[in-house]
Structure 1
Amino acid sequence: MERNPIPQFKPPHRNSPQRILIVRLSAIGDVILGVPVLCALRRAFPKAEIGWIVQGPGSQLLRGHPDLNTLITIPKLSFRTPSKFLEASSLARAFHPDLTIDLQGLMKSSLLAYLSGAKVRLGFASGEYDGREGSYWLNNRLVTPTSRHMVHRGLELLQPLGVVDSAIEYRLAEQETDSLMAKRVVEENFSGGPFAMINVGAGWPSKLWPNDRYAAVAKHLWNRWQFPSLVMWGGETEKRRALEIQSLAPEACKLAPSTSLTELRSLLRLASLFVGSDTGPMHLSVAVDTPTVALIGPMPIERVGPLGPRHRAIQNERLTKQQKSERKTNLSPILSIEVPMVCEACDSILGELSPSLLTRPTR
């Protein structure tokens, strides 16, 4: 359990919750999409003790967040290993929450909220994507969101607290060592000039766009805008994909070094453009306000697409309700996105940037 010092604020609202525990365990992109809830809670309850229980690499991006008091990192949970649940619930109870917010809406997240001992447990009513696996039996203040996007739906969970706040903030922390590493990479590869970042990986096969298409986009960015691309990767499989893209467009691409998530966050802050599918790095790019072209495959664009005028989302085909069970494997939606669509979105973003923003900004 890690604690961050929080600056002193004005007194909290009357009858406000004193100890709030956010439960959003994974995945990286979904954790990022939950961060605006943390920021909204801090604006509403400036004196509250706010904790977040999370598993896996998403914890790296929460560490040091200025609005978070306590970060509880746990191993990946499985109902086949009850001992891990007992350990995780012990850590949740040790925080002594009087309120939990279940952003995940699954049985394991709602069970952790229940076992934390919190008297008030906010969660989603039963729905297509939220409030699943009987989580609504364990959460005792249920919300039926009217919004489609995950960020807005998370913010709607706060309405029973009297919090009606549509402002979207991320305020992700920046470590000096990560910032220095990112600046060194940019200087060594691009002499400090502007560049785009291309992300080749994704958690599901249905979100993987073909290598040759990414290479074609990199060539377009180079020929049209004189923008080189830094091809990012995570793990050996993605590295092989990145190397293939570089080999297909050697004049337009550089291979990114191996990075941690926090180093990637710093690199994204320095990029002028990001291109990639619906995955953690795309949501991270949006969170640090780098202009983003998001290639949306099987998930609804109105649920996961980037929010804000600096970004573009492309979805050319979507799964039917009957195909929902194929969302991890059905390649048809992502393959229906053609190279000219992505190039047009890139041109739209870059054409709106002022000349000064097409040079490397200092962030």
Structure 2
Amino acid sequence: MFFWISFFGFLTFQKTNALKRLLNLRNEKIEKVLVVKLRAIGDVLLSTPVIKNLRHNFPNAKIDFLTEPPSKEIIEGNPFVDELIIFERENNNPKKFLNLRKRKYNLVIDLFCNPRSALITFITGAKFRVGYAFRGRSYAYNIKLKPRLEVHHNVEFNLDALRAIGLEIVDKKIYIPLSDESEKFAEKFWRENNLNEKIVVALNPSGTWETKRWGLDKFAQLGDKISEKFNAKILILWGNKNELEDAKKISSMMKTKPILPPKTNLKQLASILKRCSFMISNDSGPMHIATAVETPTLGIYGPTNPYAQGPYGEKHLWIRKEDLECIACNLTECPIGNKCMRELSVDAVFDAFVKLVEKNKN
């Protein structure tokens, strides 16, 4: 990293008093904006309110968004984004970064603030470079943000970057654009499985960390209870091959056979979830996709903090084992056998689901 900075010798570090930069940028001539948000599907989805609010504040600006390949579909087709830029970690060609500088952005907002995104932000040479100056990354930003002391949702964390530069917040909804193709795909799936006018509940047993995953046997028992109580059709969602095997295991354990959708891309998944009556999910990207299409969602939590990463919006609920000192430990490996998920009972999650149903009665 330091080699790159010295290689780009013309990129000089400017010692700027951050307080002088904390002005109302609505009064500035902002013609080109870049939003940087790397990493996973859920992270990028929770940053989408920033895009709409930027467009509200700068209606005539060119607004670009830089992310990584897994999240491409989350932003593709967003009406408030002019250009989607894909950052591939394997192709860290210095010329690609120089091209960012040639775009002459006035404002760059780094919503990820890791070493890579900080370097990208710095290299742009934008007049206003906004970010959280974590762990020695303050060199990259001339408007340095400080996170709130209290725990707050990631949507608010992202929007705080706009508040800090005097921008107006008019909408906090997360958003994924659907396509004609994805809608036709979901309509066909619904028709072929006779799901029209049925109560359809999607179960998502996946999760990027092992510690985030509630037991497959528990999902099977939960699916049976919901099917019996509400006469509901159960969908078991999956993404990769391992998740397909998990979905098949759940299906084999259930008394009432669920439906396993075919392989989908993210937009097709979103269109399917849009048609579901409810979603129950571990903390994961698909959970946030469900909230983006306004399907009432119950999040199952253990090592992560639902106050920061829970399903966002009034329609949704979350549940966790509250009486554990180690809850929300943020560990990807558990030294005590994933106690938070192991001790979260099927009855407790079912009761939470009943509350979700009551909450969303018309």
TM-score above 0.5: yes
Per-residue CA distance 1:123-174 (angstroms, 9 max, x = gap): 114xxxxx3x422331221111326111101101112321142631234211
Residue 42 of structure 1 is matched in structure 2 by: 55
Q: Determine if the alignment matches structure 1 residue 64 to structure 2 residue 77.
A: yes
Question: Could you say if the C-alpha distance between residues 235 and 345 of structure 1 is closer, same or farther in structure 2, counting changes exceeding 3 Å?
Answer: same
Residue 229 of structure 2 is matched in structure 1 by: 224
Residue 7 of structure 1 is matched in structure 2 by: none
Report the Cα distance in structure 1 between the residues aligned to 2:348 and 2:98, rounded to whole angstroms. 50
Question: Could you say if the C-alpha distance between residues 28 and 91 of structure 1 is closer, same or farther in structure 2, counting changes exceeding 3 Å?
Answer: farther
Report the Cα distance in structure 1 between the residues aligned to 2:99 and 2:41, rounded to whole angstroms. 21
Q: Output the amino acid matched with 2:316.
A: H
Quick check: 217-226 or 94-103, which moved more?
A: 94-103
Give structure 2 stretches of 5+ with no counterpart. Answer: 1-24
CA contact (8 A) 1:232 1:257 kept: no
Q: Which of 350, 354, 362 is the equivalent residue of 1:343?
A: 350
Q: Determine if the alignment matches structure 1 residue 24 to structure 2 residue 37.
A: yes
CA contact (8 A) 1:24 1:54 kept: yes
Q: Which of 116, 119, 124 is the equivalent residue of 1:116?
A: 124
Q: Which of 143, 146, 152 is the equivalent residue of 2:145?
A: 143
CA contact (8 A) 2:201 2:234 kept: yes
CA contact (8 A) 1:203 1:279 kept: yes
CA contact (8 A) 1:149 1:302 kept: yes
CA drift of 1:43 comes to 1.5
Question: Could you say if the C-alpha distance between residues 270 and 191 of structure 1 is closer, same or farther in structure 2, counting changes exceeding 3 Å?
Answer: closer
CA contact (8 A) 2:67 2:85 kept: yes
Question: Could you say if the C-alpha distance between residues 90 and 250 of structure 1 is closer, same or farther in structure 2, counting changes exceeding 3 Å?
Answer: farther
Give the share of equivalent positions with the same residue, in percent: 27
CA drift of 1:90 comes to 3.5
CA contact (8 A) 2:33 2:63 kept: yes
Residue 128 of structure 1 is matched in structure 2 by: none
2:206 aligns to what SS in structure 1?
coil
Residue 107 of structure 1 is matched in structure 2 by: 115
Residue 165 of structure 1 is matched in structure 2 by: 169
CA contact (8 A) 2:291 2:297 kept: yes
Q: Output the amino acid matched with 2:81.
A: L
Equivalent pairs, count: 331
Q: Normalized against structure 2, the TM-score is what? A: 0.86
Report the Cα distance in structure 2 between the residues aligned to 1:158 and 1:353, rounded to whole angstroms. 32
1:349 aligns to what SS in structure 2?
helix
Per-residue CA distance 1:308-328 (angstroms, 9 max, x = gap): 22101112156749x95x611
Per-residue CA distance 1:84-130 (angstroms, 9 max, x = gap): 152542343343211111111111111111112212111114xxxxx
Q: Determine if the alignment matches structure 1 residue 268 to structure 2 residue 273.
A: yes
Question: Could you say if the C-alpha distance between residues 353 and 243 of structure 1 is closer, same or farther in structure 2, counting changes exceeding 3 Å?
Answer: same
Report the Cα distance in structure 2 between the residues aligned to 1:291 and 1:310, rounded to whole angstroms. 5
2:126 aligns to what SS in structure 1?
coil
Report the Cα distance in structure 1 between the residues aligned to 2:66 and 2:137, rounded to whole angstroms. 17
Q: Output the amino acid matched with 1:195.
A: V
Answer with 1 or 2: which has the greater Rg: 2
Quick check: 312-321 or 279-288, which moved more?
A: 312-321
Report the Cα distance in structure 2 between the residues aligned to 1:143 and 1:63, rounded to whole angstroms. 28
Matches within 5 A, 1:281-296: 281-296=286-301
Matches within 5 A, 1:71-220: 71-76=84-89, 84-125=92-133, 131=134, 133-146=135-148, 148-165=152-169, 167-192=171-196, 193-220=198-225
Q: Output the amino acid matched with 2:249.
A: E
Report the Cα distance in structure 1 between the residues aligned to 2:158 and 2:240, rounded to whole angstroms. 31
1:115 aligns to what SS in structure 2?
helix
Question: Could you say if the C-alpha distance between residues 43 and 258 of structure 1 is closer, same or farther in structure 2, counting changes exceeding 3 Å?
Answer: same
Quick check: 216-225 or 327-336, which moved more?
A: 327-336
1:290 aligns to what SS in structure 2?
coil
CA contact (8 A) 1:18 1:49 kept: yes
Report the Cα distance in structure 1 between the residues aligned to 2:122 and 2:142, rounded to whole angstroms. 9
Report the Cα distance in structure 2 between the residues aligned to 1:334 and 1:92, rounded to whole angstroms. 44
Question: Could you say if the C-alpha distance between residues 260 and 68 of structure 1 is closer, same or farther in structure 2, counting changes exceeding 3 Å?
Answer: same
Residue 248 of structure 2 is matched in structure 1 by: 243
Misfit runs of 4+, over 3 Å: 317-321
